[in-house]
Amino acid sequence: MKLTRREFSRLGTMAALSGALPEIEAQTGDAAQSSGRKLGWCIVGLGRISMGHFMPGLPLSKTGRITALVSGHRDKAEKQAAMYNVPSPSIYDYDSYDEIRSNKDIDAVYIALPNSMHAEYTIRAARAGKHVLCEKPMATSISDCRAMINACRRAGVKLMIAYRCQYQPLHLKAIQLIRSGAIGQVQAIESAFGFNIKPGEWRLNRKMAGGGPLMDVGIYALNACRYLTGEEPADIKANSSVIDRDGRFNEVEENDGWTMQFPSGILASCNTTYGGDMQGYFRVHGSQGVIEMDPAFIYEGLHLRARTRDGQIIDEPDEQHDPLQFTAEADSFADCIWNNREPKTDGEEGLRDISLISQIYQAAGLREL
């Protein structure tokens, strides 16, 4: 598969961009909120997740509005600009991206590009003095993650990784139930997420994606095990495989399965695939009860069920519709910017997952990131 126009040669200059960056002062919360001004968002990359989910979520937000777009397709950008009242001068392509520095209506960027481009466009946004919400996976290598963190720190801007589930009410309720001891001592967790990928997807290109389903949807299961336990895994064992020899998996794996042991002794078993229907879920087994969410990771229709140690039965479907998951993370990021707080899912959180994915790949006999 040929790389798209977006796979720019500037990736080779990333090291230079991550050097000395100018210090800039973040906007204060009091000034922004007292004026009633909404956070101005520049959407970088007009694909399924941005146009279908994040952008529709912003008009539902009390804190944000879309003020600029970055796309390699001018006609697509103009159609989206008309929908969200973005002025024509605030439509950029990838060559003119650095010009966002002079646009005072842009406070933050939302990066929804192929995985291998996350680092470059985060670093360039930091250089332009803009806060960054970057889709997961954070990057395709540990070194890129560190460069992103360092660039944003030097520039004095916030960096948040878009782990929307960590801002979703039912996920937060599951965490609260576990922490309160409602199911006793957690013993084991099972989690999985996958789908049957179509030929021709950029996610099947290793250079652009960084890996197979583990980088794309398996990361949901990995991250869930971490926030549900509140621990970092101490031991990892893994396997990967390719079953369908139909040309889709010439560069990335089709299936990944891994187990983790946490310091407390909790065991986790996870699977992900690009070869079949694996609706995302998690199940937490406690000494006195169980919590499960199925589905757990899609954009709407989540369903939490639990049986607690006092005999309570919880059966709670999600009342939120699709864009509201993205509204919640955007509002949380605005609060961090205005009140100078570090995001819950900051760059260090993204780096931890990429480090663990690297360990999973190594354990499966593949390669490190």
Instruction: Kindly give, in sequence order, each residue whose CB lies less than 8 Å from that of residue 214, ignoring residues fewer than 6 positions away.
Output: 222, 253, 256, 272, 357, 360, 361
Q: Give bridge partners of residue 261 from the DSSP assignment.
A: 235, 267
pLDDT of residue 368: 84
Cα separation of 103 and 106, whole Å? 6
pLDDT of residue 320: 79
| Domain 169-319 classification at class level | alpha beta
149 pLDDT higher than 80: yes
344 part of the active site: no
What mean pLDDT do residues 52-66 have? 97
25-50 b/e (C-beta count within 10 Å ≥ 16 → b)? ebbebeebeeeeebbbbbbbbbeebb
pLDDT tens-place string over residues 269-285? 999 999 999 999 999 99
pLDDT of residue 30: 47
298 pLDDT higher than 80: yes
Catalytic, out of 38, 130, 136, 158: 136
What is the amino acid identity at position 264? S
Q: What's CA 215's distance to the chain center, in Å?
A: 10
pLDDT band at 267 (very low <50, low <70, confident <90, very high): very high
Instruction: Output the average pLDDT for the chain.
Output: 92
How many CB atoms are located within 10 Å of the residue 351 CB?
Answer: 19
| Torsion angle defined by CA atoms of residues 95, 100, 102 and 106, in that order, rounded to the nearest 10 degrees | 170
Cα separation of 262 and 188, whole Å? 10
pLDDT of residue 6: 37
What mean pLDDT do residues 6-17 have? 34
220 part of the active site: yes
16 pLDDT higher than 80: no
344 pLDDT higher than 70: yes
226 pLDDT higher than 80: yes
Parts of the chain belonging to CATH 3.40.50.720: 9-163+327-346
367 pLDDT higher than 70: yes
pLDDT of residue 310: 96
pLDDT tens-place string over residues 65-124? 999 999 999 999 999 999 999 999 999 999 999 999 999 999 999 999 999 999 999 999
What mean pLDDT do residues 346-352 have? 98
Question: Above pLDDT 90, what percent of the chain?
Answer: 88
Question: Above pLDDT 70, what percent of the chain?
Answer: 91
Fold of 9-163+327-346: Rossmann fold (3.40.50)
pLDDT of residue 112: 98
Catalytic, out of 110, 220, 274, 361: 220
Q: Are 149 and 158 in contact (CB under 8 A)?
A: no
Kindly list the distances between the CA atom of residue 45 and the CA atoms of 49, 110, 111, 134, 227, in Å, as whole numbers in the listed order: 9, 8, 7, 11, 29
Query: Torsions phi, psi of 133, nearest 5?
Result: -110, 115
34 pLDDT higher than 80: no
- Of 194-198, 206-210, 223-227, 319-323, the one with minimum mean pLDDT is 319-323
pLDDT band at 24 (very low <50, low <70, confident <90, very high): very low
Parts of the chain belonging to CATH 3.30.360.10: 169-319
